[in-house]
Each structure stands twice: as C-alpha cells, then as structure tokens.
C-alpha cells in the first residue's frame, strides 16, 4: 500500500497554557507517521517510540523548552520543538525526516526518498 506521507502541521503559537488540542495534534502527527511507515515500508510497529525531553543549554538549568519525537529503532523520523517566544508564548515547530529510514538500509526507504 502506497499513500502520501503525513502532512507536516504548520507551526502553532499559543498562550502559556497550551491546550489539549495542540497535544492531540502532536500525537496525531506522530501516530500518522508510525502508521504511514508501517504501511509503506518493511518495518514492524514494535520498533517505534514516542518520547519527550527537556532542552537546556546546561544540565543545571530548568527550562520550558522541549523536544518531542517519534523514532524507529533509535532513528528520529519526526520531531516537534516546543519553545518560548520573547513575548512568553509557546511555539510548536514540526519537522519530518523520513529519509532517516535509509540509515536502516531499508531498500524501499532509500528508493522512496529518491522519488
């Protein structure tokens, strides 16, 4: 089954109390990637992981900045950066990197990236 890759959501800027709808958008984006890769490449669903980590310049610093990502066998396929703007809003920036599947030497992944 070949289908179009998931659409990358536009960046979202929200008040400091980010709502459930934004996190549902993130979850749906990651699940769409998992489903797309599972349906179009020879991979198993057990190799996927969705995780989130705090981003800080120094390990002693507490920050609101986060990275959330979906990976397959430790290779990051997509991420969302959650950062603060100078006006104290939260910005969510989405990215997708399916070409990373080539690192697993999946022939279908590399040929699809060349299309």
Residue 115 pLDDT > 50, yes or no? no
Does 95 fall in a domain? yes
Neighbours of 24 (CB within 10 A): 10
Q: What is the pLDDT of residues 51-97, one digit of tens each?
A: 998 877 777 767 778 999 999 988 899 999 999 888 888 999 999 99
Residues in the chain, overall count: 115
Q: What is the mean pLDDT of the chain?
A: 83
Count structural domains, the chain.
1
Residue 35 pLDDT > 80, yes or no? yes
Does 7 fall in a domain? no
Instruction: Look up the domain containing 92 and give its range.
Output: 12-114
Beta strand ranges found along the chain (DSSP E): 12-14, 48-54, 66-72, 75-84, 90-96
Does 1 fall in a domain? no
Does 2 fall in a domain? no
- What's the count of helices (H) and strands (E) in the chain, helices before strands? 2, 5
* Those residues with Cβ within 8 angstroms of residue 108's Cβ, 6 or more apart along the chain or in another chain: 40, 41, 42
């Amino acid at each position: 089954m070949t289908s179009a890759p998931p659409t990358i959501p536009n960046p979202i800027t929200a008040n400091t109390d980010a709502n459930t709808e934004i996190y549902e958008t993130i979850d749906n984006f990651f699940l769409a990637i998992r489903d797309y890769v599972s349906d179009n490449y020879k991979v198993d669903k057990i190799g996927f992981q969705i995780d989130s980590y705090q981003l800080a310049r120094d390990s002693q610093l507490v920050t609101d900045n986060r990275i959330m990502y979906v990976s397959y066998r430790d290779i990051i396929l997509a991420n969302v950066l959650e950062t603060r703007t100078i006006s104290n809003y939260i910005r969510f920036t989405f990215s997708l990197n399916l070409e990373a599947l080539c690192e697993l030497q999946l022939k279908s992944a590399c040929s699809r990236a060349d299309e």
